[in-house]
């Protein structure tokens, strides 16, 4: 399976996917920690995370897949949402919780 196939499978099989540095319990950068804190504040309990530090192919592959240069990256219901700055803005406006809570 190619890296792109792996990413597509992860995104399509999980409603909320965060590509991050580290784990939710031990984020390895401030931006990933911020993303986890925001998702926790939104009440996300079905979060699927991928530690890009464990797989260099995924780390580069997700940047190519989304055409977005930085990590973390959030996908909700198969759609790319954005990185840490966008998550912060969407959280503050209430948009992110609405997006996550939609059926």
- What is the C-alpha separation between 25 and 3, in angstroms, rounded? 25
Binding-site residues from annotation: 29
Sequence-distant (≥ 6) Cβ neighbours of residue 47 within 8 angstroms: 16, 17, 18, 24, 39
Binding-site residues from annotation for [2Fe-2S] cluster: 29
């Amino acid at each position: 399976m190619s890296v792109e196939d792996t990413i597509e499978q992860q995104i399509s099989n999980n409603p909320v996917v965060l590509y991050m540095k580290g784990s939710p319990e031990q984020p390895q950068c401030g931006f990933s920690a911020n993303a986890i804190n925001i998702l926790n504040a939104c009440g996300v309990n079905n979060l699927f995370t991928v530690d890009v530090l464990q797989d260099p192919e995924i780390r580069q592959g997700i940047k190519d897949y989304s055409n977005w240069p930085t990590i973390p990256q959030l996908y909700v219901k198969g759609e790319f949402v954005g990185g840490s700055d966008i998550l912060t803005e969407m959280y503050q406006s209430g948009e992110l919780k609405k997006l996550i809570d939609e059926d």
